């Protein structure tokens, strides 16, 4: 080793010892011809005192030094109680510059308080960005979280298995990344969207308890906060029921949050999909605050107000919202329109007991009189209303509820409100899936809400294909603070049931055989009952680090559009690479 | 859970308890109207007794059962001491068929003693193959080995970091797998051949101790025993010297071999590259046996035998080899010719003290007289000779040595002879690299023996570019039983040295900037001294499981040519997929 100690480990007990440190010049102060250098390594910071001006002169920020000297006590009054090494300093007798640094594109030292830096320049110089406290902590935390996960799962006798990443198109519905196969010109591998089929094959193979922290790939339009490659904690178990998967996963979640010293109380709450939609207008409700949606369809059954003569009428309360200026209330209309709604009706409950806003006067006197009690309002509150199609109206109110929570400061970043969402429908109309931006797999009128391998709850095993709209899936999603961390299901393990599901989804036998014939084949040979779950690790880490983007928890993230400002990938290839890869070859005729 | 106990966990202490097991029908015997079923799950096997013929009748191999019954003691004389559960049996009161199985393509039960099965059919039905004892053990062992590695490295405060797999072409020299970037039509990602550049960037980023069990990709011609994707234990450390990396890795190796109850004695032996070539004709010597090459160039300095008037003459002994029949000795000639040699000279030391074989009579009397002593032979031995170019001759003798070891049964699979090979040359003539099937990176007369980022040993820092043929690399390979498990080096961390290395290799500034400009850029900003190592995990597992192919230690391996008989990947893509992926787009002009 080039050093005898790490910088952050020095304490008063080392006083009098001669030590050698290595690290980076974090900051430097000069005082009376003496240079005081904060020397930083991965463990922390130690103050180095250099009395020789000639030695100290060339040292600039982020130079790499090897410093030998004696550990001394800082002069009285110069201690730094904010620094674990704040009692001591290293009085340098020998300073070697291991490497120099050019002037920096942005400041490395200074932790969270430093000037905000543009993301593009941070990513281009990610190797400097990672020296900063926030990013450095984030990637270290990921490592600790992975360790915590593995400790739990190895303790439960899970087997970590690597599944292939050069494989066949998977049926998740998103676009695959493709890889030309040079030795099979005209044929392509696909990068996996998840190890779903392989983990099910491992169950057929008798592995019984599988996990993997797996790299997955989806070629999506990188809206918002997606990465082309992401990491998933992937788990599958045989001979289990929903309770077993949930119990195991709660153990994992507890261990993960323990890494940030948060005690998660288990068992975690559960909510049915139907309740989540009714009360929160979302299948991933943020339970850090209340403000449940109020269903008012009954209440307005005989309303004179045409807008409320609808399939559904509902409301959400904004405490104190009556004092919003007109401009703000207008902005809510804009907000709603951007979500595809015509607007967002509202009623103000004035302090004097009167009702304000354009809607109130359209209501009957009885309706007006009972309104405050209906929505649970106090004077000074505001209630937003949506009416029309149940699903769309609830979604709008659910979004309004979260927006209210944000404006009222109810989204406490230090609170973690988990819930399992269970009993989701097995199928949804394919038209709904397409309308909400998902991909409908298959050509049928119905598509799977989870995926095609999710089993029906046992009580729907006989009827899920004759009454697909009523069937509930044997599935469970885990939600934290309004974001979905992951989900899973008890799978179909019988070939006959799998075929019936494909049929409902309009996947014909030929397609089924073509896409995942190998799974159907495997089901012929004694597939055990099995189920599992997958967690999006980037999302989990984002919660644990309380950062705003998943890019903050990835060592080398892509920016928008899947571009890497650091390596400048992707890049053009040479004609020779193209020719060798066989990109332009016709597929070989399939041998009979 | 569908079960109360695992099958393999039942013992005499459970006698009298009512339990429920789940698992597969491993074997069935019928005796006096009673069916005895070996029920198998991941934990082992338990004997189930079914007295109801109607229940037992339909049960066939690999049916999945749920069996409830009372644990009883097996009748005296019927115990099976070979089975951990051999004292007990489960007398079934309730048998539920969880799934059926079609007739099997090959037998699952029976462990190692079962009939050999063709690899193609095993891989096509890998989900059945994995139920067999050997394959099941192999993938479980991999999980344990990964745990052992992580325990060591987390204990040493290493940080596990995931590096990107959609990235830019890496400079390892092999062909990249390519991925079209839909959002950047005409541009492509490359799958990484290793995380080399990223791990160096992590060191620049101050991570100091990095590891990853990383998926890597090489689009090679799948000769022999290669897979298009493979797994590498990838490690990098800052502020270290060679000793530190070696010490850490010996700790990892010890922990890995501990999983198969083998105690590895450390420190492991070391041999210089020069010694390895001189004594074993290989940079990955098999040290399970001796039979070192004997250099005889001096001895034959004045030989009348033209063939031995060469740059190099050497020999390797085959104890007892004098009794090889003529046909076998002729076969050795064929063996040598297949390696590109003209033949393999030999001398037989007959029991009567005379010399046999066609070479002896060409030697001078003095040469003949001293020959036995020279090569250390006893009567009855045979010595093989090679003469000519030093490198080629040693390689031939080295291969002959291993072949002799194999024929004499010296390659004990239960012995693990490790060695570090150190002090390899930094460069080799590019023509040599090409001749030996490697790729010469760059257009220069010299190419790196390890790779372009390997530093010179400190004593060659000033001279490696003026005298490249003499410079030694600061590199180390770890070898076990004649196969290279991995290797690493202390890297270049200074931009000026890196540029000098590129220059020697004929990589001009433009190419360097184009390919890894981001690494050179990073080196401008205080890169610390660093070094690391990578281990081929598939190879390591092959040693630990003592299997003949790396395919045995991979959950879902590809067969020859990178084809997966199970999923039938790769496969043709649709015109729509092709169009969407932007495969045929011209690259966009680079913005100024």
CB-based contact B198 A555, cutoff 8 Å: yes
C-alpha span between A445 and A469 (Å, rounded):
11
Predicted pLDDT of residue B591:
44
CB-based contact B191 A180, cutoff 8 Å: no
- Tell me whether 0.90 is exceeded by the ipTM: yes
Summarize pLDDT for B34-66 with one digit per residue, the tens.
999 999 999 999 999 999 999 999 999 999 999
Angle (deg, nearest 10), helices B537-545 and B242-258? 40
Predicted pLDDT of residue A344:
95
Using 50, 70 and 90 to split pLDDT, how confident is the model at A441?
Answer: low
Chain B (61-100) residues lying within 8 Å, Cβ to Cβ, of chain A: 62-64, 98-100
Contacting residues of B for A131, CB less than 8 Å apart: 205-206
Contacting residues of B for A101, CB less than 8 Å apart: 524-526
Summarize pLDDT for B400-445 with one digit per residue, the tens.
999 999 999 999 999 999 999 999 999 998 887 766 666 666 777 8
C-alpha span between B91 and B72 (Å, rounded):
7
Predicted pLDDT of residue A591:
44
A205 and B CB contact within 8 Å? yes
CB-based contact B101 A524, cutoff 8 Å: yes
Contacting residues of B for A141, CB less than 8 Å apart: none
Closest-CA residue of B relative to A126 is: B205
Question: Do the bridges between strand B446-448 and strand B475-480 make them parallel or antiparallel, or are there none, so unpaired?
Answer: unpaired
Nearest by CB: B205 against A127, A187, A190? A127
Predicted pLDDT of residue A145:
98
For residue B160, give the 3-state DSSP assignment: strand
Across A319-465, the runs of DSSP E, i.e. the strands, are: 345-349, 355-356, 382-388, 418-422, 427-429, 446-448
Strand (E) or helix (H) holding A245:
helix A242-258
Q: Is B333 annotated as a binding residue?
A: no
Q: Which range, of A331-345, A361-375, A501-515, B300-314, averages the lowest pLDDT?
A: A501-515
Chain A (236-265) residues lying within 8 Å, Cβ to Cβ, of chain B: 238-241, 244
For residue B508, pLDDT beyond 90: no
Share of chain B above pLDDT 70, in %: 95
Share of chain B above pLDDT 90, in %: 84
Contacting residues of A for B163, CB less than 8 Å apart: 555-556
CB-based contact A529 B136, cutoff 8 Å: no
For residue B396, pLDDT beyond 60: yes
Tell me the mean pLDDT in the region B236-262: 98
CB-based contact A202 B98, cutoff 8 Å: no
Closest-CA residue of A relative to B523 is: A101
Using 50, 70 and 90 to split pLDDT, how confident is the model at B114?
Answer: low
Using 50, 70 and 90 to split pLDDT, how confident is the model at A510?
Answer: confident
| CATH superfamily placement of domain A289-411 | GAD-like domain (3.30.1360.30)
Give how far B178 is from chain A: nearest CA, Å. 6
C-alpha span between A48 and A3 (Å, rounded):
14
Nearest by CB: B160 against A131, A143, A198? A143
A2 and B CB contact within 8 Å? yes
For residue B222, pLDDT beyond 90: no
Q: Which range, of A246-250, A586-590, B477-481, averages the lowest pLDDT?
A: A586-590
Sign of the alpha-carbon dihedral angle for A580, A581, A583, A587: positive
CB-based contact A162 B529, cutoff 8 Å: no
CB-based contact B166 A494, cutoff 8 Å: no
Summarize pLDDT for A68-97 with one digit per residue, the tens.
999 999 999 999 999 999 999 999 999 999
Summarize pLDDT for A33-75 with one digit per residue, the tens.
999 999 999 999 999 999 999 999 999 999 999 999 999 999 9
Q: In Å, what is the CA distance from A472 to each residue of A476, A483, B501?
A: 11, 22, 64
C-alpha span between A471 and A292 (Å, rounded):
26
CB-based contact A205 B526, cutoff 8 Å: no
What are the residue boundaries of the structural domains of chain A, listed by start? 12-99, 126-270+528-566+576-585, 289-411, 425-472+494-527
Interface test with B, best of A143, A155, A175, A498 (most B CBs within 10 A): A143
| CATH superfamily placement of domain B126-270+528-566+576-585 | Bira Bifunctional Protein; Domain 2 (3.30.930.10)
CB-based contact A168 B570, cutoff 8 Å: yes
Chain A (262-291) residues lying within 8 Å, Cβ to Cβ, of chain B: none
Using 50, 70 and 90 to split pLDDT, how confident is the model at A225?
Answer: confident
A589 and B CB contact within 8 Å? no
C-alpha span between A390 and A384 (Å, rounded):
15
Interface test with A, best of B239, B558, B577 (most A CBs within 10 A): B239
Q: What is the CATH number of domain B12-99?
A: 2.40.50.140
C-alpha span between A356 and A372 (Å, rounded):
12
Q: Other C-beta atoms within 10 Å of A488: how many?
A: 25
A324 and B CB contact within 8 Å? no
B54 and A CB contact within 8 Å? no
B161 and A CB contact within 8 Å? yes
User: With contact defined as beta carbons under 8 Å apart, do A209 and A237 qualify?
Assistant: yes
Contacting residues of B for A139, CB less than 8 Å apart: 159, 161, 207
For residue A444, pLDDT beyond 90: no
* Binding-site entries of A for L-aspartate: 172, 218, 450, 491
For residue A524, pLDDT beyond 80: yes
Q: pTM of the predicted model, to two decimals?
A: 0.95
C-alpha span between B66 and A291 (Å, rounded):
47
DSSP output for B256-286? HHHTTT-PPPSSPPEEEHHHHHHHHSSSS--
Phi-psi bin for A130: left (phi > 0), alpha (psi -120 to 50), beta? alpha
A44 and B CB contact within 8 Å? no
CB-based contact B239 A2, cutoff 8 Å: yes
Q: Other C-beta atoms within 10 Å of A576: how many?
A: 8
Tell me the mean pLDDT in the region A135-153: 98
For residue A590, pLDDT beyond 50: no
User: With contact defined as beta carbons under 8 Å apart, do B367 and B300 qualify?
Assistant: yes
For residue A592, pLDDT beyond 50: no
CB-based contact A99 B529, cutoff 8 Å: yes
Nearest by CB: A1 against B169, B244, B570? B244
Tell me the mean pLDDT in the region A436-445: 68
**Mean of pLDDT over chain B:** 93
Contacting residues of B for A151, CB less than 8 Å apart: none
Q: Other C-beta atoms within 10 Å of A150: how many?
A: 24
Summarize pLDDT for B177-210 with one digit per residue, the tens.
999 999 999 999 999 999 999 999 999 999 999 9
Across B128-228, the runs of DSSP E, i.e. the strands, are: 159-160, 178-180, 187-190, 209-217
Q: Other C-beta atoms within 10 Å of B516: how many?
A: 24
C-alpha span between A141 and A572 (Å, rounded):
35
Summarize pLDDT for B267-290 with one digit per residue, the tens.
999 999 999 999 999 999 999 999
Number of H helices, E strands in chain B: 15, 23
Nearest by CB: B522 against A127, A197, A205? A127
Give how far B310 is from chain A: nearest CA, Å. 42
User: What's the angle, vertex CA A342, arms to CA A339 and CA A346, rounded to 5?
Assistant: 100
């Amino acid at each position: 080793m080039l050093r005898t100690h790490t910088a952050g480990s020095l304490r008063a007990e080392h006083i009098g010892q001669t030590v050698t440190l290595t690290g980076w010049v974090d900051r430097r102060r000069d005082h009376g011809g003496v240079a005081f250098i904060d020397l930083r390594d991965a463990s922390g910071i130690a103050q180095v005192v250099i009395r020789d001006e000639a030695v100290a002169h060339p040292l600039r920020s982020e130079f790499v030094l090897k410093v030998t000297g004696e550990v001394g006590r800082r002069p009285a009054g110069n201690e730094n109680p904010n620094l674990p090494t704040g009692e001591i300093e290293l009085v340098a007798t020998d300073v070697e510059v291991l490497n120099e640094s050019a002037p920096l594109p942005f400041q490395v030292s200074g932790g969270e308080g430093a000037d905000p830096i543009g993301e593009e320049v941070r990513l281009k110089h990610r190797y400097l960005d990672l020296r900063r406290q926030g990013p450095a902590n984030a990637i270290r935390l990921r490592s600790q979280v992975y360790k915590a996960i593995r400790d739990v799962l190895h303790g439960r006798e899970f087997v970590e298995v690597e599944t292939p990443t050069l494989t066949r198109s998977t049926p998740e519905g998103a676009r695959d990344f493709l890889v030309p196969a040079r030795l099979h010109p005209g044929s392509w591998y696909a990068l996996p969207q998840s190890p779903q089929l392989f983990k099910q094959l491992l169950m057929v193979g008798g592995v019984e308890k599988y996990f993997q922290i797996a790299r997955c790939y989806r070629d999506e339009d990188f809206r918002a906060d997606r990465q082309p490659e992401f990491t998933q904690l992937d788990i599958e178990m045989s001979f289990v029921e929903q309770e077993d998967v949930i119990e195991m996963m709660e153990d994992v979640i507890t261990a993960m949050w323990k890494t940030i010293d948060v005690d998660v109380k288990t068992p975690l709450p559960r909510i049915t999909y139907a309740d989540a939609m009714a009360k929160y207008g979302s299948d991933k409700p943020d339970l850090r605050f209340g403000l449940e949606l109020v269903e008012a369809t009954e209440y307005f059954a005989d309303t004179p107000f045409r807008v409320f003569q609808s399939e559904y009428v509902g409301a959400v309360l904004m405490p104190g919202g009556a004092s919003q200026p007109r401009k703000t209330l207008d902005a809510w209309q804009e907000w709603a329109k951007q979500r595809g709604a015509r607007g967002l009706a509202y009623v103000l409950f004035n302090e004097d007991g009167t009702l304000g806003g354009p809607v109130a006067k359209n209501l009957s006197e009885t309706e007006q009189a009972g309104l405050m009690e209906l929505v649970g309002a106090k004077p000074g509150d505001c209630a937003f209303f949506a009416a029309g199609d149940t699903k769309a109206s609830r979604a709008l109110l659910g979004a309004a509820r979260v927006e209210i929570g944000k404006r009222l400061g109810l989204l406490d970043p230090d609170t973690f409100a988990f819930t399992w969402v269970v009993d989701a429908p097995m199928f949804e109309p394919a038209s709904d899936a397409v309308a909400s931006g998902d991909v409908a797999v298959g050509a049928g009128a119905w598509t799977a809400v989870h995926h095609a391998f999710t089993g029906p709850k046992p009580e729907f095993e006989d009827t899920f294909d004759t009454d697909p709209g009523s069937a509930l899936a044997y599935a469970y999603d885990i939600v934290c603070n309004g974001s979905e961390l992951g989900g899973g299901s008890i799978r179909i393990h019988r070939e006959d049931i799998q075929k019936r599901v494909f049929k409902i989804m309009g996947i014909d036998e030929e397609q089924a055989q073509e896409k995942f014939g190998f799974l159907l084949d495997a089901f012929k040979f004694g597939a055990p009952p099995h189920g599992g779950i997958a967690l999006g690790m980037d999302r989990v880490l984002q919660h644990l680090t309380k950062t705003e983007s998943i890019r903050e928890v990835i060592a080398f993230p892509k920016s928008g559009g899947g571009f890497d400002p650091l390596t400048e990938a992707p890049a053009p290839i040479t004609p020779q690479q193209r020719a060798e890869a066989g990109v332009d070859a016709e597929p070989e005729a399939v041998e009979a």
